[in-house]
Amino acid sequence: MQLKLDGKRVLVTGGAGFIGSHTVDALVAAGAKVSIVDMVSTGRRENLNSAATFYEMSLADERIEEIMAEERPEVIYHFAYFVKVPESLKNPMLDMDVLRGSVQMLQSAVAIGTRRVVFSSSGFLYGNTLELPASEELALDPITPYVVTKQALENYLEFYRKTYGMAYTVLRYAAIYGPRQVTGAMADYIRKLSGGEQAEIWGDGTKTRDYVYIDDVVEANLKALDIPADHPSPIFNIGTGHETTLNALYWKIAAILGVKPAPIYHPDRPGEQMRYCLDNTKARKQMGWGPKWMLDEGLRRTVEANRGQ
């Protein structure tokens, strides 16, 4: 994908993380002037692009207003979020700092004239719907504090557009995977199996996920900039439309590594989504985006990259 962003000022929250760092690399390559805000909790310093300006802080830090005034971003990519969902199920307050910080950042964005926010939302917002692949028209049914706050921020973005005219694009991601990923079930499977151990699966392994490769997601992130500011519903699913069980994923990773799969099964945890699959028709028609990477090839690349980390 060819994109020219020469000199455009872009702020990326969570730019040391998995999705954020890949997106920063693409933005820098396109000529953008990028700044990063990240507290480096689940992200890694080695992911930071040396061409970007880095601010190590939480979004909830009051200094975010100073950073916004200094950098004056025309575009904000918002990836920073509390991603340890099992922990927030036990303590929902863990999601509050990022929600408060996000609203604080949006308030500053209005003050400096930011033109657009691209927000990394989640396909988990559809909950345990039986209508799969899930389309953007489905009623939302968030079942964890993580997606409750994602829905809240989607609503705040609509408020800021209606009230202040600040454009936004919401991307509801499927289960993203690829090099640099350190959290989530797939990363755990690869890490354990690569080290001669077996990984844990909660439930019987028949839960499904829709796996979309990071390069496809980065392309969607950049295409999000072209959505018209007056689009009536700038919310798009970013997924493949295909389901894969956790068991099938585990067996594929084991086969790539040449080891015998024997996962350790545990009773399922509360707040689990049993099936997960996103309809990408709207993104295809209105963004000109569709996934290019098949799971088997993406997995091979991911396993090789993670073995080298």
Could you say which of 126, 146, 173, 276 is catalytic? 146
Nearest to 223 by CA among 233, 213, 211, 215: 215
pLDDT tens sequence across 159-182: 999 999 999 999 999 999 999 998
- Mean pLDDT of all residues belonging to the chain: 93
CB 170 within 8 A of CB 154: yes
Residue 26 has pLDDT above 50, yes or no: yes
CB atoms within 10 A of CB 87: 14
CB 175 within 8 A of CB 210: yes
For the sheet with 33-38, list strands across it: 53-56, 33-38, 9-13, 75-78, 116-122, 167-173, 235-238
Residue 28 has pLDDT above 60, yes or no: yes
CB 172 within 8 A of CB 234: no
Per-residue CA distances from 290 to 65, 179, 190, 249, 282 (Å): 36, 20, 26, 22, 10
Does this model's pTM top 0.85?
Answer: yes
Query: Alpha-carbon distance 14 to 2, whole Å?
Result: 24
Q: Domains (ranges, CATH) in the chain? A: 9-178+211-241+279-292 (3.40.50.720)
Give me the pLDDT at residue 2, please.
46
Mean pLDDT across 222-239: 97
Nearest to 200 by CA among 184, 212, 181: 184
pLDDT tens sequence across 273-295: 899 999 999 999 999 999 999 99
Least confident stretch, 85-99, 131-145, 151-165, 225-239: 85-99
Confidence category of residue 264, pLDDT binned at 50, 70, 90: very high
> What is the percent of the chain where pLDDT is above 90?
82
Which residues, including other chains, have CB under 8 Å from residue 40's CB and lie 6 or more apart?
Answer: 16, 56
Residue 86 has pLDDT above 70, yes or no: no
Q: In the block, which residue shows the tokens 């024997």?
A: 262
Residue 154 has pLDDT above 60, yes or no: yes
Residue 81 has pLDDT above 80, yes or no: no
| 146 catalytically annotated | yes
Least confident stretch, 44-58, 137-151, 191-205, 230-244: 137-151
> What is the percent of the chain where pLDDT is above 70?
95
